[in-house]
Structure 1
Amino acid sequence: MSFADTPSLLARLAELEQSNRHLRQQLDACAAPREGAATLASERYQFLFNAMDEGFCVIEFIDGPHGPLSDYVHVEANPAYTAHAGIPDVVGQKLRDMVGDEAQAWLDRYGHVLRTGEAIRFEQELVATGRYLDVTAFRIEPASRRQVAVLFQDITPRKRAEAALRQLNETLEERVQAALAANRILANVVDGAAALIQVLDFDFRWLAINGSGADVFEQEIGVRPRIGDSFSESLRQRPELRDGILAHWRRAFAGETFSEIISLGEGPGRRHYELQFSPLHDAEGRSIGAYQFAYDVTERLEEQQRIQVMEEALRQSQKMEAVGQLTGGIAHDFNNLLTGVLGSLEMLDLRLRQGRLQDLDRYTGTARSAAQRAAALTHRLLAFSRRQTLDPQPVALERLVIGLEDLIQRSIGPQIALEREADPQLWLTHIDASQLENALLNLCLNARDAMPDGGRIRIVLGNECLDEAQAEHQALPPGDFVRLSVGDTGSGMSDEVLARVFDPFFTTKPLGQGTGLGLSMVHGFVLQSGGEIRIDSAPGAGTWVHLYLPRHGLAPVISPPVHPEPEPNLPGQGETILVVDDEPTIRTLLVDAMTAQGYRVLEAADAVTALALLPPDHHLDLLVTDVGLPGALNGRQLADALRGLQPQLPVLFITGYAEANVIGAGDLEAGMRVLTKPFTLDTLERRIQLLLDER
Structure 2
Amino acid sequence: MMLPESSTLSYDLLIDQQFLFTLGKQDLSVQYINFPALVFTGKCPQELKGKFINEVVHSEDLEVFRKLISSLKEGEEKQCILRLRKGNGTWESFNFRCRPYKQGEEEMVLSLAIRTPDKSRPEEDHEKVNFLRNEYEHLLESLDEAFALVDVIYSPEGEAIDFLFLKTNPSYEKQANLKNVVGKTVSEILPGYSRSMLKKIGEVAVTGKPVRFQEKSKSLGEWFDLYAFKVGADKSRQVAFLFRNITEGKASEEKMQEELVRNQDHLRESKELLQTVFDTTNLGIAVLRTIYAEDGSIADFEFARVNKVIREMYLQQDVIGSRYTDVSKYGMEMGIFDAYKKVMETGEPFDEEFFFAQEGYNNWFRVTARSNRDLIITTIEDITKVKLEGEALKDSLKFKKELVETTPEVIMIVDLNSFKVKYINKDLLPQAGITKERVQSLGLAEILPFIHPRDREKMLDLHKKLLKSSNDQIYDIELRLKLSGVTWEWFNVRGKVFLRRDETWVDEYVLLVRNISEQKQTQRALLKAEKLSIQGELARTFAHELRNPLASIGMVGEVMSQKIPEAQKEELKPYFEILKRSTKTLNNLVSNLLNAANYTPAILEKQDLSEILDNTISNASDRIYLSGIKVVKNYGGNYTVMADKEKLQIALLNIIVNASEATTPGEGIIEIDIETRGTEYILSIKDNGHGMEESEIEHLFEAFYSKKENGLGVGLSSVKNILEEHDAQITVSSEPDKGTCFKISFHNAAEI
Same fold by TM (over 0.5)? no
Please state which structure has a larger fraction of its residues in helix.
1
Q: If the length of structure 1 is used for normalisation, what is the TM-score?
A: 0.26
Q: If the length of structure 2 is used for normalisation, what is the TM-score?
A: 0.25
